[in-house]
Amino acid sequence: MFEPSVYKARRAALIQKLAAMGIHDGVALFPGNRESPMNYADNTYRFRQDSSFLYYFGLAEPGMAAAIDLASEKSVLFADDISLDDMVWTGPKASVREQADSAGIDAAEPLSTLSGFCAAKRMLYLPPYRMDIQAQLAELTGVALGAVPGGASMELIRAVIAMREIKEDREIERIERAVDCSIDMHLAVITTAKPGMSEAQLMALAYREALTGGGMPSFPPIATTRGSVLHNHGYGNTLTDGGLFLLDAGAETDDGYSGDLTSTFPIGRRYNDRQRAVYQIVLDAGRAASQAIAPGVPYRQAHFAAARVIAQGLKGLGLMKGDMEAAVADGAHALFFPHGVGHQMGLDVHDLEALGEIHVGYPEGEHKSAQFGLKSLRMAKPVRAGMVLTVEPGIYFIEGLIDIWKREGKFTQYINYAELESWRALGGFRNEEDWLVSQSGARRLGKPFDKSIAAMEGYRGA
């Protein structure tokens, strides 16, 4: 948690932003997250506070709510002190008043007074992503349960995005700490993996590093011998020599800031020739994308920079053919690179996506492309200094997708399906880094972590 003045300043800035949009009264309501039951009410997942609550109020106890009265500019924390009975089980705790002070919050009130406080006021809230919060908002606002998401305040959404997407120096320090811990997760796995081990063993090792850092993984790790399955959350396969291992995993600091990295390494000591060739293209695509980052430049350009390198590289391998500029414009490369080059990262690993991916990643009024591949680009808008972005190009041989495209005769002018046959079992490659947009370009976050072929084979003991 930061100093109380940090949260006071953020709330003051939010009030100003809303005022600039013509909103001078009403209540900006921030329901904090509650415990999330696993298989019964008392057996809960590890608590994760809502990120906007963390940003404006700093506190990470379950079951709180907070509000900003926009007319009086006063903030109120709604929460209950623990009973003497509870104290036996939980140990002594800071009072709600003390907790409010630690975040510079003006008033502290019992949770039972929240509905009275909200009654007959204009309520501004962010879209809920948990049903218990949606039900709470329905009760507080009198809106029908199903209508709650639609009643979220677009002004509040835009104001919160505008603030949270530009990281303060103190936030960058925390993010860099998360990235360092994420690097530890990766190095532990890369230096330990051996043929015969299970994916679960290596996921467990990554998990251990994240928990040792004091936080937890920022998302469910992908730790797989089948990197061509993009969202592979099973851990049942065994590592075999000659194959590849893809780890997409990051840590979160104890106060909620994320890291997010991907590595692809050989399960033997060295990449074989084809793996080496494809991996190098992915590295080159990442370099091209990160070099395309500069204030004012749409992130879509970084995406296309990576896509062009990938297409050219695959043409060099005989897998694509023809005019690669046209191929990229038409989306043919998406057979191999079907996702976007990256996303914002901060208090959420896909930062701010709870507020609507389109609002976070696209200029107001602009729509996503419907083109396969491009429609998965989460971040397209011009970047600004202080933004944190992932750069994560990949090349995948997705057998099901190859079959469909081949059957449909799709992009036969660009794709050499005959040559592709002998490559289709090669798997999936991705390299992901976290970058900070500077005044002039971008800087990779975190301690040194060399992803070159020589370095990766070095970690593997070659």
Q: Which stretch binds a copy of itself (CB under 8 A): 155-163, 296-304, 349-357, 363-371?
A: 349-357
Kindly tell me which residue out of 107, 172, 200, 385 binds a copy of itself, with binding defined by CB under 8 A. 200
Taking CB under 8 A as the criterion, the residue among 12, 94, 145, 326 binding a copy of itself is 145
Which residue, 457, 445, 298, is CA-closest to 383?
A: 298
The owner of tokens 């204009």 is: 122
Cα separation, 426 vs 420, in Å, equals 10
- Between CA 46 and CA 35 the distance in angstroms is 8
CB 345 within 8 A of CB 389: yes
91 interacts with a copy of itself by CB under 8 A = yes
Instruction: Identify the three-state secondary structure at position 382.
Output: strand
* Rounded least distance, CB 303 to a copy of itself, Å: 18
Task: Choose which of 354, 383, 391, 415 interacts with a copy of itself (CB under 8 A).
Answer: 354
Asked whether position 232 contacts a copy of itself by CB under 8 A, the answer is yes
Residues 393-422 binding a copy of itself (CB under 8 A) are: 398, 400-401, 404
Q: Reading across the β-sheet that carries 222-224, which strands appear in turn?
A: 222-224, 244-249, 261-266
Of 278-286, 344-352, 436-444, 449-457, the window that binds a copy of itself (rule: CB under 8 A) is: 344-352
Sequence-ordered strand ranges (E) for 114-175: 123-125
Select 350 or 381, whichever has its Cβ closest to a copy of itself.
Answer: 350
Q: Is residue 198 close enough to count as binding a copy of itself by CB under 8 A?
A: yes
Taking CB under 8 A as the binding criterion, the range among 16-24, 132-140, 284-292, 309-317 that sits at the site for a copy of itself is: 132-140
Q: Residue 231 or 447: which CB sits closer to a copy of itself? A: 231
What is the rounded CA–CA span in Å between residue 57 and residue 55? 6
Instruction: For residues 456 and 461, give the distance between their C-alpha atoms in angstroms, rounded to a whole number.
Output: 9
Contact 290, 302 (CB under 8 A): yes
Distance of alpha carbon 320 from alpha carbon 332, whole angstroms: 9
- Distance in Å, CB of 294 to a copy of itself, minimum: 28
By the 10 Å C-beta count (0-12 exposed, 13-18 middle, 19+ buried), 428 is classed as: buried
Applying the rule CB under 8 A, the residues between 34 and 63 that interact with a copy of itself are 36-46, 48, 50-51
Closest separation in Å from C-beta 270 to a copy of itself? 27
Query: How many residues of this chain interact with a copy of itself, rule: CB under 8 A?
Result: 62
CA 108-109-111 angle, 5° bins = 130
Q: Which residue has the tokens 């507080």?
A: 140
Positions touching a copy of itself (CB under 8 A) are 36-46, 48, 50-51, 84, 87-92, 129-132, 134-135, 145, 198, 200-201, 203-205, 207-214, 219-220, 226, 229-232, 235-236, 338, 347-350, 353-354, 398, 400-401, 404
